[in-house]
A and B are shown apart, each in its own frame.
Chain A
């Protein structure tokens, strides 16, 4: 077994064994508490530049399959687990997770006290980290970690977005057309839209309003993705253009933060973020609680229990996380726009919030 170490920017060091590729990697250390869905997590572009710590201890049990990727590749910068499976077992499994990580060059570490690491990140906050199976000297690795860029201020959309436009056709009868800005989109978003008769054109992050309007969209979608929303001035301006034209707008996660900024709110970095598939969110419009999939390190700063006057009319916080009162959704009262900070497309995670795609379609219907 090849030894590996993990060093956090505050100097705390963990020892383990190499998992996946042997090498060295850096990123922001974050933990996710989902007990299922590692394949979706690994291929979620929102984890770009992040070293993901899996709190669930047994990872890789179901191997990897051909259907569950949320994008074309593994995006995590590094992977930290406690106990990888020796042998995957599932009727859909087509391969071993460790081998796939190695193939895609993803440096990981196993055998780590992931609970201790998680508690540390909870208390000290998400921070830069290095994982290495080539440089086992903590001091040397620490110096390298401290030379890495921080997530705060990171503009990553360009690195994860599609190079050129592509289309996901509606299933069955075509009803509506959506222009989606790819800031790090997951496949299940367009699948959930397609299931409702929506054809989705996915655009590069640098697209202009004219680009989007060229497909005569019934609505525009702003995707999830990695990075600090404070850097995303281009998409923010684009969102304002969309709203100015009163084209229905729906945003998820990073897309939600973009809309928040477009409406004039600030964003801020959470201490250690929300990453997991068990987060309770209150839909303030219905009073119901949904268990939801989260993956966000930043959040919108908006007052919770009031209608806020913005450039686009009244806006209210529609969804809030019951664990910590973080803003999880915004809704325009005059302008046909709404967003959620979490993941109604799930993958991984519960389908409780799937109704939001229906709301999106209803919004389009009403507008149309």
Chain B
């Protein structure tokens, strides 16, 4: 049965910004879908507000709309594009919810658009808790005893029957938002209360606790002929009670017999049929009672999910690609298996390796946030590893995390067994480290099993085996080949071994010994079939086994190092740049070799690079891949690896540059010495002086006394931060000496190698971001100049910005160009550089220069129609800017510093995850912005004018700005004057102004009518600001903090916290308020329109 011929034009909906619970896996799946559909000759239009995605590159769709994924904007796209069908199952919950909304409001019917991939009925059955329970029963399965509740009264009545503890699950939220486990009545009030609020249909499910049960997931696919295959089984090491996204997981399932596995499979298929997912993928979660095997179905997602991406990478079975083909009418037996080419996709992958995924958290970014892992997902990323056994995969995954600890024994941990056992009782990040400590300190597997809430003894014993091996290594007179090989086969890194055998001169000593003994990894292939058939796809992972499968090739090879697990400050933007490098270099006839360990990304799709190594991004692992590729290339008579790119994957690969270079690896692009120059305060300062470039007064300190002396000299406020960080980790603005002392006391890792940088902080300056290219001839190409909407002091990753810079004069831009050229040449940049400037009183200051791809590269590329990362990759391999201009990759003349007349305005807005976190007392965490980056993702709004573009960016990031209603205003004294104009404008537009006393006084003096309400502590429990917000009476909040430093955090915390809880748009800076006013005006004028990127780019490149 061939594909449907009636579908000529399909609209794909993406998932929008990266948020917790919805990350780049949907870029991976959406990109695959777009490619598949276009290859079938179908016109594809795409809506996605996230500019950092590969899928929104103009070449992946016929019409790409970087527009908010809201029913209003998607309708505008539908009206313009008139697609035959919408495929909503590859864009996560966002796409699915939007499609449902468009169905319900009649838009789909109005425009005659069909929903493909899943029908509304199936989506409802999967999402509606009660319907789903009925369906599981029909399919012959069990669900936990439970009841759907719509009010707190119903909740209390239900718990009276079922008994505590219970799980609270709100309907129609993603990533388990708002759900949690209630052990006490207080927990219940809090969790169920916020769960009801978080659910768009005010509905929660209260259910029997299956805490401590074994947790499994199946990934299934079904075609229109009712053929079903199970792509992958996944077992959670963390038992039920921890969200699967926050759990350490293993594929395939490790502790099920065939009988139990087949029971899971039978039930999964029965549920899938009963729900009626006609074509496509779905994910079903199960819990199994470890005592008697009683099996319960927890939930299903009738769409491609985070787990689907993991399963795709874990098995080599491309779920999203196949789902797209099924949606247009193919059946599984008609689709060839990509990897074997000769066998069909109608089969179930067989793995001859073990896969481990570990989540990556960012609690350090949210002081005060409760670190307990619960059924609400809190992790921001993940790494996956493959090994030929569980221990190998586990150890590789642990060192892929790039946390302080790089696997067992590399960081201090518990020294008391009782403390370790006690700590295990609360699920936490790094729980396996605690498990290891407890076992090593003498706890039995049974004790740890009990204390950890019943982690399966098989996993615990695998860790015990590592401890036994450790004892052997410690006791052995010499580390001989046999023992070393055993250690490597268990996945231990050179670094781990070095900590056990310090006499061997560290990691380098272990490596030298290992190489002398000939103990090196081989590379196996992920082939979907456990070697039953020949694989055509070079998707590799390392193992200390006998036979390597790296195919010799005599082509010149380039290794591109990816960015590892997503975290705040290093996310999809860097993967985007890596993927672009691959595309550019493949196009220029290099053999591209990708190394990365993040299963969510496009870079780890086996189709992206010529060869994929799914490996940790550590020095050891990268060096071994280099060796394997270089030596096999040279043995084949070719040049081997001619270059390794470390500049595009963020701080992770950059941090390896020096050691790799020292080991003889050819780093291309900006040299490690130049990278150091940009980080070294002394050298960099000299460079600035030579070129007459200003920077804020600054100094470097390794003690409080030194820091104090510097601050006294340059004057407060000062910006303090550790060197070599990304995402502003540990960066703070300090207004006085006690705070400075406090900062230094907290910064435990200060040393002469890692000093603290102390800079004069420029209050009220305009911050400017520049991405630029520089080639070997020293020619500099300004990619784009961005003006931040928030003033300097807010991390650039958290600031909204505009391109072109809307308030800068030509003279400012000329100065920016002069500075940037001098910096790029002075540093010796070969490729990309990002510079942050502050403009204060007509003087430009360099805040920092980073000779690498920045977070803003994808935004700039999309806003200016120039693929900067592609150009950078080519420059690193020797092309000049002149060559690239001639080729057409860069503009023939001019650059991104000069924006053509009539160019659209692009606004980037950051998306912050505050809603995800609660303090242990259950309150919201503070949503105040600071120099430390906290956003997980970004969106772009692009339109003819700033107001429209800003309004779009807000709609895409947070839901629309209000066009009427009450605005609550409470601002710091220093901001009161500046706030008069925007608030006046809002009042003129018909908004009711509500303020606190101080602000109201000023506003009234300017003739603005306002209602004055008390602060929460002035009138607790009564009509006060916080109560109004929580009651949903306020539609916009403008609140800037009074004072500075710690007191600024306290002021208004209750208000901002209420804003987060009630999900009300909240502005915390003066410029932000002005921008919001312009956006509101644009919305009220009703002049919102949508234009595809292809059209905008044609205008920008003058090809239209």
- Name A's B-contacting residues (CB within 8 A): 14, 31, 33-37, 39-40, 55-58, 61-62, 65, 67-68, 82-83, 85-92, 113-116, 118-119, 122, 276-280, 282, 287-289, 291, 322-324, 346-351
Contact = CB atoms under 8 A, between A and B. Distances in A.
B624 interface: no
A62 to B, nearest CB: 5
A33 B465 contact: no
Contacts of A92: 257, 293
A65 B293 CA distance: 14
A13 to B, nearest CB: 11
B257 A37 contact: yes
Contacts of B390: 58, 83
Contacts of A349: 258, 262
A119 B547 contact: yes
A88 B254 CA distance: 11
27 contacts: A34-B258, A37-B257, A39-B257, A55-B531, A56-B351, A57-B388, A68-B258, A85-B461, A87-B445, A89-B461, A92-B257, A115-B388, A122-B533, A122-B534, A277-B258, A278-B350, A280-B347, A288-B225, A289-B331, A291-B348, A322-B343, A348-B262, A349-B258, A350-B230, A350-B265, A351-B262, A351-B265
Contacts of B347: 278-280, 291, 322-323
B546 interface: yes
Given A122-B533, A289-B225, 11 more contacts: A31-B531, A36-B258, A40-B258, A55-B350, A58-B389, A87-B458, A87-B461, A91-B290, A115-B388, A323-B533, A350-B230
B456 interface: yes
Contacts of A277: 258, 348
B737 interface: no
A39 B529 CA distance: 21
B531 A62 contact: no
Nearest to B227: A289
Contact of B524 (A91, A115, A347): A115
Interface string B217-234: 000000001110110000
A349 B226 CA distance: 19
B352 A118 contact: yes
Contacts of B445: 87
B332 interface: yes
Contact of B293 (A31, A36, A56, A91): A91
Contacts of A122: 531-534
Contact of B529 (A33, A91, A291): A33
Nearest to A323: B343
Nearest to A273: B532
Contacts of A88: 458
A291 B317 CA distance: 16
B256 interface: yes
A82 B545 CA distance: 10
Contacts of B1037: none
Given A33-B532, A58-B389, A114-B352, A289 B252 contact: no
Contact of B226 (A58, A276, A288): A288
A31 B529 CA distance: 12
B753 interface: no
A330 to B, nearest CB: 20
Interface string B366-388: 00000000000000000000001
Contacts of B331: 289
A61 B256 CA distance: 8
B292 interface: yes
Contacts of A34: 258, 350
B457 A89 contact: yes
Nearest to A272: B532
B389 A56 contact: no
B4 interface: no
Contacts of A324: 343
Interface in B323-354: 331-333, 342-344, 346-354
B261 interface: yes
Given A87-B445, A280-B347, A322-B347, A62 B354 contact: no
Q: Which 5 A-B residue pairs are closest in the complex by CB-CB distance?
A: A37-B258, A116-B547, A89-B458, A55-B530, A348-B258
Contacts of B457: 87, 89
B2 to A, nearest CB: 14
Contacts of B534: 122
Nearest to B532: A33
A90 B258 contact: no
Contacts of A323: 342-344, 347, 533
Nearest to B482: A1
B545 A282 contact: no
Interface in B200-254: 225-227, 229-230, 252-254
B258 A89 contact: no
A113 B547 contact: yes
A89 B532 contact: no
A83 B524 CA distance: 16
Nearest to A291: B348
B255 A89 contact: yes
Interface in B479-536: 524, 529-534
Contacts of B226: 288
B291 interface: yes
A68 B546 contact: no
Contacts of A82: 388-389
B200 to A, nearest CB: 38
A88 to B, nearest CB: 7
Contacts of A118: 352, 530-532
A115 B461 CA distance: 25
B259 interface: yes
B533 A58 contact: no
B266 interface: yes
Contact of A113 (B346, B348, B546): B546
B56 to A, nearest CB: 36
Contacts of B230: 291, 350
B535 to A, nearest CB: 10
Contacts of A55: 350, 352, 530-532
B546 A116 contact: yes
B344 A280 contact: yes
A288 B227 contact: yes
B388 A289 contact: no
A344 to B, nearest CB: 13
Contacts of B456: 89
A280 B531 contact: no
A61 B545 contact: no
Contacts of A62: 255-257
B547 A322 contact: no
A122 B352 CA distance: 15
A324 to B, nearest CB: 8
Nearest to B259: A68
B389 A119 contact: no
Contact of A83 (B256, B258, B389): B389
A89 B32 CA distance: 39
A36 B261 CA distance: 8
Contacts of A90: 255-257
The interface centre, meaning the residue of B255, B531, B533 with most chain A CB atoms within 10 A of its CB, is B531
Nearest to A120: B547
B257 A36 contact: yes
Given A276-B350, A278-B347, A289-B333, A91 B261 contact: no
A242 B118 CA distance: 50
B352 A115 contact: yes
Nearest to A85: B458
A289 B529 CA distance: 18
B1039 to A, nearest CB: 54
Interface in B876-900: none
Contacts of B348: 277-278, 291, 350
Contacts of A287: 225
Nearest to B529: A33
Given A61-B254, A87-B445, A278-B347, A113 B352 contact: no
A322 B342 CA distance: 10
Contacts of A40: 258
